[in-house]
Amino acid sequence: MTTKTIAITGATGQFGAIALNLLKAKHANVIALVRNPAKISGIEARQFDYAKPEGQVEALQGVDTLILVSSSEVGQRIQQHKNVIEAAKKAGVKHIIYTSLLGATNENTVKSLASEHVATEATLKASSITYTILRNGWYTENYTESVPAALENNAFYGSAKTGKISSALRAELAEAAVNVALSEGHENQTYELAGSTSWTLADLAAEISKQTGKEIPYVDIPAADYAAALVQAGLDEGFAGLIAQWDVDASNGALFSEDKTLEKLLGRPTAGLDVAVKQALSH
């Protein structure tokens, strides 16, 4: 068992909380870095805010490995991540594991998200801290969260055409990050992390139909119409536009990869759509 101290940012977020629980289960020496330490029990929690450099160096004292979960504030990430990396350097952190984006530097990528990750990767490489960049593929949950809406609408709407999506469950990508943190030999590596199988939105609709016994077809609509429908469903206009654009990116292959590194880090293939749909229906 490793004796190094591992800290994780965003430890109350969806990804961070899973990773934190896995580290706790493995009895790792772990510190949760969170805005509100009162939300964490059973382990050491330190106050930490990506946007506030003051206090970050102190919060990172004694940390060997930092799992830097990318901030959820799209548009603010470059500066926020730079704050954390600079504080880590001052605090003497030896290794940073960063959650980036699948194919971030590819010509064909999710452009609305890629630039901030590419900038952070560059900051990390320039910091002289040993790093591991985990270019996480799309979470399967990004799509299966729409299962209830599909059942309500008797159809799964989207704009991804026949684009293949090589997603993985959030828990699988969090487990990969934990496995990297707890093992050696990942220094200065960049890993593309994609699911073992790829699927289309029509495949997802077919799996929903199969598990519910309801006929749920996939209906492909223009991105502008999809964004408008999301706004009507109560989403903020900017975010609705982003979601629709991500479908367009998927239609162009931005969410597809045949890389099997994630399988290697997990020691098994990732879960199929059947598992993800089952999880979505049980909530």
What residues are paired with 50 via a beta bridge?
Answer: none
**How many residues can be counted in the chain?**
283
Question: How do residues 7-45 score in pLDDT, each as one tens digit?
Answer: 999 999 999 999 999 999 999 999 999 999 999 999 999
Report long-range pairs for 262-269 (Cβ below 8 Å, ≥24 apart).
262/137, 262/168, 262/172, 262/173, 262/176, 262/191, 262/193, 262/194, 262/195, 262/196, 263/196, 265/176, 265/179, 265/180, 265/191, 265/193, 266/172, 266/175, 266/176, 266/179, 269/196, 269/197
From the list 259, 267, 107, 123, the residue with the least C-alpha distance to 191 is: 259
Question: How do residues 202-228 score in pLDDT, each as one tens digit?
Answer: 999 999 999 999 999 999 999 999 999
Residues 100-129: what's their mean pLDDT? Answer: 95
Question: How do residues 144-175 score in pLDDT, each as one tens digit?
Answer: 999 999 999 999 999 999 999 999 999 999 99
Count of H helices and E strands in the chain?
12, 9
* pLDDT of the residue at 1: 52
pTM of model > 0.85: yes
Q: Count Cβ neighbours within 10 Å for each residue of 120-143 and write b for 16 or more, e otherwise.
A: bbebbeebebbbbbbbbbbbbbeb
Average pLDDT, the chain: 96
